[in-house]
Structure 1
Amino acid sequence: MPINVSADFCKLCFMDAAWVGVAVTGVIAIVGWVVGAFKHAGEKRAQKRADQLQQDRDDLARRLVEAQEKIASLNQELLEAARQQADSAEKIAVLKQDESNRFRWEIVHEKGAVYRVTNKSNRVAYDVWFTTDNPMNRPGYIEVSELRSGGSFEFMYWAAAGPDFNYDMVIKWKDEFGNSYERAERFSKEHPTLITE
């Protein structure tokens, strides 16, 4: 038996099919837009991250260049210091060859408890520091920033036991090149004491 389909029914079916096509197209468009939005957001994040990495790399490269320049500067200073040290050592060796250029100190009893230390060398002594074993001395040491040839200073020493005893002292100083010296010696009330480097 033949099926009788009315024209209205066919129109209705055709319209439903058209709406279904529009709906499917709309869904596809929305899905495409959502996927595009996610893709665009991902690309923006990736670009932002790439820009940050590039900036970090540029900052690191700049710091590396600064560090290399600082190292080069410090190497120059080190070379200069080594050259100056070699020059100093050479000059000191020359000075020491000549006996008149050696440091010499003389300790002489003046009167009572007063003694005098004199720079008998031909050189200036710097940052001179002097002390004795006498517990009566206060503050216990003497400091002189510069003592030229022939320059001197006094110190007090109260001997507990007669003139025959030797007393202990320490003298420290620097030469014109900054080299340090130190001598620990005994001195006597009766006889001048000569100390050499």
Structure 2
Amino acid sequence: MSTPHFPIYMDYSATNPCDPRVVDAMIPWLREHFGNPASRSHAWGWEAEKAVETAREQVAALIGADPREIVWTSGATESNNLALKGAAHFYKTKGKHLITVKTEHKAVLDTCRELERQGFEVTYMDVQADGLLDLEAFKAAIRPDTIIASVMFVNNEIGVIQDIAAIGAICREKGVIFHVDAAQATGRV
């Protein structure tokens, strides 16, 4: 008699069952308080707007940001796309060079490839054997026309945690915008 084989789901960082506490908190908004937060001419809209602003404050507190810095999107892919394309096009008169890492999430790599089709140049950095970015190699890759560096905080596939503080300091010193995909880090690091 053979032992049955059951699949093991190992992609919890990407998608997992919703925490029952979250479900419980959301049920009233799905069943009773369904107002449009942008509709400010009635009580349902006012109540929904207040809930959205409370959520904005909670997210800001979680990541150490000002609530005015929180922009709602449909998810991490849209957020990365919006940030990278928006900054690249806004600063293209300063330069058209970006730096990212070969182990970045597909959403970032796809956006960088699209920017290349639009005339930008992208340097794709290798990582060391431990998955970390070589900071000296990173610093050497920055050119006078480098406008953005994009580095994932916590890698969704190998779990490595990049030294975001050190990378950010290099970017600040060189006048380069630093984009961090922190989707896997938020609430964990």
TM over 0.5: no
TM bin (shorter chain): under 0.3
Rg larger in 1 or in 2?
1
Give the TM-score of the pair, scaled to structure 1. Answer: 0.23
Give the TM-score of the pair, scaled to structure 2. Answer: 0.24
Structure number with higher helix proportion? 1
